[in-house]
């Protein structure tokens, strides 16, 4: 990945590190993004789940949370990375549907992967739906590949098991080798 400023421009939007003022606005983006899934695809309880504020605040404090802001500076998308058992995990990416299809998801991922590379990570994992176009197929276009059971780190396998216990189906783990 090419080294760039910490602020990325994307068609009238900017990708910037999240500030404390952004945190209270992120759950609304998450809930709006959940509504674009096909009817009855997600368990009902998932449609109203939000990342806890303490998780968002901790990620922001650790420099692991970025937002896509519109021209007025309001967040319209975000990405959250976590470090789990020493592994970089792309834990959440959401773009408000009103701002979808603008390249914001891609820009958020590129920003996060650049930052993780700068922190010394050579790879990043995620878990996602295998059969939804804006999930596994989208990540595959960005270079993520499905990780088979034999090659899957224990921490990632545990996340997939927990997701299945919560009623999520058709989930896969994916991995990206981060390079400059």
Across the chain, mean pLDDT equals: 88
The pLDDT tens digits of the residues spanning 81-95 come to 999 999 999 999 999
Residues 6 or more apart whose CB falls under 8 angstroms from that of 47 comprise 31, 34, 35
Q: In angstroms, rounded to a whole number, what is the distance separating the alpha carbons of residues 138 and 132? A: 9
Asked if residue 15 lies in contact with residue 7, where contact means CB atoms within 8 angstroms, the answer is: yes
The two structure tokens encoding residue 20: 């404390």
CATH of domain 8-177: 3.40.630.30
Q: In angstroms, rounded to a whole number, what is the distance separating the alpha carbons of residues 27 and 48? A: 10
Range 51-55 average pLDDT:
91
Least confident window among 2-11, 24-33, 92-101: 2-11
| pLDDT > 80? residue 150 | yes
| pLDDT > 50? residue 2 | no
- For the ranges 8-17, 36-45, 129-138, the one whose mean pLDDT is highest: 129-138
| pLDDT > 70? residue 7 | no
End-to-end CA distance of the chain: 4
Q: Does residue 161 sit in helix, strand or coil?
A: helix
**Domain-wise residue ranges, the chain:** 8-177
- In degrees rounded to 5, what are phi and psi of residue 178? -90, 125
State residue 10's pLDDT score.
58
CA geometry: angle at 124 spanning 121 and 125, to 5°? 150
The two structure tokens encoding residue 129: 């739906």
Least confident window among 31-35, 149-153, 154-158: 31-35
Burial of 35 (0-12, 13-18, 19+ CB in 10 A): exposed
Helix ranges (H only) for 16-174 are: 23-34, 44-47, 53-61, 104-118, 136-141, 154-165
User: Model pTM?
Assistant: 0.88
């Amino acid at each position: 990945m090419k080294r760039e400023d910490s602020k990325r421009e994307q068609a009238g939007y900017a990708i910037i590190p999240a500030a404390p003022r952004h945190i209270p606005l992120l759950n609304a983006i998450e809930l709006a993004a959940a509504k674009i899934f096909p009817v009855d695809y997600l368990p009902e309880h998932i449609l109203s789940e939000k990342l806890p504020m303490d998780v968002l605040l901790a990620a922001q404090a650790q420099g692991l949370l970025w937002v896509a802001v519109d021209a007025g500076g309001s967040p319209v998308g975000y990405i959250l990375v976590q470090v789990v058992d020493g592994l970089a995990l792309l834990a959440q990416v959401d773009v408000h549907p009103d701002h979808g299809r603008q390249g914001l998801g891609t820009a958020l991922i590129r920003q996060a992967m650049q930052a993780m590379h700068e922190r010394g990570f050579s790879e990043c994992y995620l878990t996602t739906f295998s059969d939804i176009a804006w999930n596994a197929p989208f990540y595959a276009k960005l270079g993520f590949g499905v990780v088979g059971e034999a090659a899957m780190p224990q921490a990632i396998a545990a996340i997939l098991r927990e997701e299945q216990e919560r009623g999520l189906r058709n989930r896969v783990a994916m991995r990206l080798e981060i390079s400059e």
